[in-house]
Amino acid sequence: MIVSASYRTDIPAFYGAWFLNRFHAGFARVVNPYGGPPSAVPLRAGVDGFVFWTRNIGPFLPVLAEVKRAGLPFVVQYTITGYPRALETSVIEAARSVALVAQVAAEYGPHAVVWRYDPVVFTDLTPAAVHRESFARLADDLAGAVDEVVVSFATLYRKTARNLAAAARAQHFDWSDPPAEAKRALAAELAGLAAARGLRLTLCTQPDHLVPGTSAAACVDAARLAAVAGDWGVRPPARVRQKGNRPGCLCAESRDIGAYDSCPHGCTYCYAVQSRGRAKARLAVHDPEGEFLIPPG
């Protein structure tokens, strides 16, 4: 079994102490976000590896060392976009993230980190030209530390559009959702920039935007975990079935241990947070000794 920690929140940045406590305990309890009873997810016995999703792995570096000592391979899905503060309120500076990616890659091998330029958001602060320039600069900095970059275009759910519109009014910018043709054109340009720097560009669960030079992403990637295991000389993951979350998703089957509305990074386009204020309040009452990241109720 592969454990995802977590596409619902940033466990490495904010909840590392809790994860380490649950790792030592051997399990975490998880609220079902769609209703139904909570579940217990193993974190040691029967686990083949972890996928950690983050914008700041710094606080989690000691935990990565502990997970490796247990012989369990991991992959870090590390988002770096370099967007302005109007879009990303409290994300650490891109240069710091680049340095952390290089540190993790040097310590754990060339397959252990995947860069995410995700999601691509179109505003007058971040038009296509700015995306091209920022992506190229980050790709220059990350070349040699990563071999894949995952890209997606922002999916504007109702709550996402509401939060983005509120930020636009407060910060005085405009945003848009351009047609698929414009997204495919930018995807092709970014793929060319990536390839010129030795990176493979994959698209996360957006088959309509695939163009030559791109391929579909498997963000929970059993093959990559197996490569990490090979780099470390530990047991590779057992064979797991593909079980994507949405049409076009090539992810391997996994169990996620996160909770929605608990990441206070303040990204205005985030699908996992309805309100940054609520996320900050939930973090403030979080118990790192508890079985749940965020208990029910």
pLDDT number for residue 239: 80
- pLDDT tens figures, 87-134: 999 999 999 999 999 999 999 999 999 999 999 999 999 999 999 999
Contact 265, 89 (CB under 8 A): yes
Give residue 216's region: left, alpha or beta (phi > 0; psi -120 to 50).
Answer: beta
- Residues 203-218 have a mean pLDDT of 95
Please report which helix (H) or strand (E) contains residue 153, including its range.
strand 148-153
pLDDT score of 283 more than 90: yes
pLDDT per residue as tens digits for the range 149-207: 999 999 999 999 999 999 999 999 999 999 999 999 999 999 999 999 999 999 999 99
By DSSP bridging, strand 27-30 and strand 175-176 are unpaired
pLDDT in tens, 266-281: 999 999 999 999 999 9
pLDDT tens-digit series, residues 47-61: 999 999 999 999 999
* CA gap 240, 2 in Å, rounded: 8
What is the pLDDT, as a whole number, of residue 131? 98
3-state helix, strand, coil in the chain (%, to 5): 35, 20, 45
The sign of the CA dihedral 239, 243, 249, 251 is negative
Q: Whole-model pTM?
A: 0.97
Identify which of 133, 163, 148 has the alpha carbon closest to the alpha carbon of residue 201. Answer: 148
